[in-house]
Amino acid sequence: MILVKNANLLDGISDEIKTVDILIVDDRVEKISKEIDIKNPDVKIIDANEKLVIPTLTDIHCHLREPGFEYKEDIRSGSLSAISGGFTTICCMPNTKPPVDNRAIVAYIKYKSKEVSPIEVLPVGAITKGLKGEELAEIGFMKEEGIVAISDDGRCVMNSNIMRNAMLYAKNFSLPVISHCEDMNLSEGGQMNHGYISTILGLRGVPPEAETIMVARDILIAKETKAHIHITHVSTRESVEMIKKAKEWGINVTADTCPHYISLTEDEVLEFNTNAKVNPPLRTCEDVEALIDGLKEGVIDCITTDHAPHQKDEKNVEFSLAPSGTIGFETALSVCWTYLVKNKGFKIAHIVKLLNNNPRKIINLKPNIIKEGHAANLLILDPNKEWIVNENEIISKSKNSIFIGKKLWLSIDTVIYNGKILKEEGVLNC
């Protein structure tokens, strides 16, 4: 039994914060009430005075690198990193080795997760065999094994006819298609955003149009097929405008962006910092503002981490040879707090929607809320804690965080999932 006292609770249902006590028995929330007193000496009491309690988080776009790239991350290490960042449901992308393009690999990830991960790991299957963009993967079989969406993330399905068929076929199985939008002819050789900084540094650029053109294409295919398209890691102002238009037209489109796209710009690359090399690339202030407005207006439905671990030696090379990606689990909520709540006045309830309710809706999961009788999944947060991201404190197997050295607000003190304390007072307990 766990009793959380004096919690400022945001339950994921109402937008109001209530100060209550929460009693957890086994894996369920037994009681939420103004004042709960229990004389049982076996009850673990957590004083959450001045702290904020919200439901645990959901990330529908991350890379756990298993199978094939366990030297970067594996299901266990990635899960621990996720827990540290408050996530208890994570969807891993299929660009592993071999890729998740058949039922056996899906089954492997599901089996392995059950063995080693304290949280819910949901695989995303490939759209095409070998992520080659040529032939559709066995989407039905993969769904049977437990995929929640399909995506060729990291690559764009360049053949529009294949993409159209993928959307239609996925509809049979009620799966969203998560699209990494990138015209790979326009982006060829690109190392960062195509703009002023790329000119200064003499690096080849990826023009914003490389993304926006494919966003427009996918929206048009979704319009015709009436399938559910989810545009992931949106990075450009024009993409936001396209998605806004599509929603006005009533097209079944949803979208996400990542913490780094709403907080940082192409300026991060100025010292040839390879941790700032991400795909799509960091853009400009105007794009950051447009993305934040997009979140505010509900054009962009949720935030994903695109947690993309790469080993130190892989990133410590000449800029063009470094792989793209930043890890993201452990900083996501703090970045949203710092850049959206503190700087832009977002409501806390909105952040919970962006990192929990909305992503779950996109992949058709039941809501994760704090309610009597429901699973006890909650985070205890200290919003007044200021910290600097330190490489040595990173939990993930890889340390390639774009936020190293940055000052952020909010710490995740305690993570309770299904009644188990997985992180306590800032320290992992699993």
Partner 1 sequence: MAKHLLGLKELSKDEILKILNLARDMKVILKSETKKTPHLQGYSVVTLFYENSTRTRTSFELAAKFMSANTTSISVQTSSVQKGESLLDTIRTLEALKTDVLIIRHSISGASHYVAKNCSFSVINAGDGMNEHPTQALLDMFTIKERLGRLENLKIAIIGDIYHSRVARSNIWGLGKFENEITIYGPLTLIPPYIEKHVKIATSFKEAISDKDVIIDLRIQLERQKKGFITSKYEYYKYFGLNDDIKDVINERTLIMHPGPVNRGVEISSEIMNLPNCTIEEQVTNGIAVRMAVLYLCTRKEGTLI
Q: Show which residues are catalytic.
A: 306
Nearer to partner 1, 209 or 289 (CB): 209
Binding mask 162-201 for partner 1 (x = CB under 8 A): -----------------------------x--xxx-xxxx
Residue of the chain from 41, 202, 345, 373 that contacts partner 1 (CB under 8 A): 202
Buried b (16+ CB within 10 A) or exposed e, 301-325: bbbbbbbbbbbeebbeeeeeebbbb
Per CB under 8 A, the list member of 5, 168, 223, 319 interacting with partner 1 is: 319
Q: Which residue has the tokens 């294949």?
A: 162
Indicate the residue among 49 and 316 with the shorter CB distance to partner 1: 316
Q: Residue 80 or residue 192: which is nearer to partner 1 going by CB? A: 192
Q: 213-218: list long-range contacts, CB under 8 Å, 24+ apart.
A: 213/181, 213/183, 213/186, 214/156, 214/179, 214/181, 214/182, 214/183, 215/181, 215/239, 215/242, 215/243, 216/242, 217/160, 217/163, 218/163, 218/179, 218/181, 218/253
- Cβ proximity to partner 1, 248 vs 271, nearer residue: 271
Q: Using CA atoms, how far apart are residues 83 and 416, in angstroms rounded to an integer?
A: 9
Q: Judge contact between 237 and 287, C-beta under 8 A.
A: yes
CA pair distance 283, 20, nearest whole angstrom: 43
CA angle 274, 280, 281 (to 5 degrees): 45
Binds partner 1 by CB under 8 A, chosen from 19, 316, 343, 390 = 316
* Among 39-47, 157-165, 203-211, 330-338, the segment contacting partner 1 (CB under 8 A): 203-211
Torsions phi, psi of 356, nearest 5? Answer: -145, -70
Nearest approach in angstroms of CB 199 to partner 1 is 4
259 near partner 1 (CB under 8 A): no
Beta-strand ranges (E) seen in 87-133 are 87-92, 120-123
Q: What is the amino acid identity at position 368?
A: N
Q: Of the two residues 199 and 429, which places its CB atom closer to partner 1 in the complex?
A: 199
Q: Which is nearer to partner 1, 208 or 325 (CB)?
A: 208
Closest approach of Cβ 321 to partner 1, in Å?
Answer: 7
**296-315 positions binding partner 1, by CB under 8 A:** 313
Q: Is residue 205 near partner 1 by the rule CB under 8 A?
A: yes
Nearest distance from C-beta of residue 72 to partner 1, angstroms: 18
Strand partners, 8: 19, 52
The least CB distance from residue 89 to partner 1, in Å, is 39
Nearest to 74 by CA among 59, 57, 92: 92
Smallest separation (angstroms) from partner 1 to the CB of 197: 9
* Residues at the site binding partner 1, with contacts judged by CB under 8 A: 191, 194-196, 198-205, 271-272, 313, 316-321
